[in-house]
Structure 1
């Protein structure tokens, strides 16, 4: 019995297509050397369609232990500052919220992202040292 393609997997593969194109434009050598991607085990990430996409382009996936928000930069580095920024704000429409989010992201310094990504190595080392247990700051 074949698994059906979920719209979430299709959307995720479209996101990967856009990521691949952005890498091609900004860091073409990276595609030749190989991309290493970290994502969790959410259904769109583990779906057959996604696995086929990753295999087609030879992208390597770092294993991600279940229930490990301490290894996802969005969880340990992004959501806190975003929550503080949005705290107390109210939006009339979804477009207003999207506009505010775009503005916030556009005004973040490159170092904000660099710090989040660069801290991954030490967080992985702690996770390995703790045999997969939760990594505290």
Structure 2
């Protein structure tokens, strides 16, 4: 991996810190069971600072690498997630079965 420095990497690491804290508060025990974090090869994700953060703080997180600009997400998907988030944004599911139903 090439050595890259980006001002966005420190901001991304701060976002990962907030994510880790939110998971700890909202889903107790999930950090111990494992978290899957999907990355593409965007510069903040592949920067040395981010890689160092992941090595130091991820606590067993599995990193799923995903190519940038992947065709897995069609442009139509972008029109799905906004309304879905507005519809379900305040909904909390107690169990996985509740989520599925």
TM-score class, shorter: 0.5 to 0.7
CA contact (8 A) 1:54 1:60 kept: no
Kindly indicate which of the two structures has a greater share of residues assigned to helix: 1
Q: What are structure 2's unaligned runs of at least 5 residues?
A: none
Question: How many residue pairs align between the two structures?
Answer: 99
After the TM superposition, which segments of 4 or more aligned residues of structure 1 sit over 3 Å from their partners?
1-5, 71-98
Does the C-alpha gap of structure 1 residues 15 and 96 become closer, same or farther in structure 2, counting only changes over 3 Å? farther
CA contact (8 A) 1:70 1:76 kept: no
Q: Greater CA radius of gyration, 1 or 2? A: 1
Cα deviation for residue 76 of structure 1 reads 4.0
Deviation string 1:106-135 (CA, Å, 9 cap, x unpaired) is: xxxxxxxxxxxxxxxxxxxxxxxxxxxxxx
TM-score when normalising by structure 1: 0.48
Does the C-alpha gap of structure 1 residues 97 and 51 become closer, same or farther in structure 2, counting only changes over 3 Å? same
Q: What are structure 1's unaligned runs of at least 5 residues?
A: 99-136
* Higher RCO (Cα < 8 Å, 6 or more apart): 2
The aligned counterpart of 1:41 is 41
Deviation string 1:35-79 (CA, Å, 9 cap, x unpaired) is: 101122100011111111112533211121342153499954556
Does the C-alpha gap of structure 1 residues 36 and 91 become closer, same or farther in structure 2, counting only changes over 3 Å? closer
TM-score when normalising by structure 2: 0.62
Two-structure CA RMSD over aligned residues (Å): 10.1
Cα deviation for residue 4 of structure 1 reads 5.9
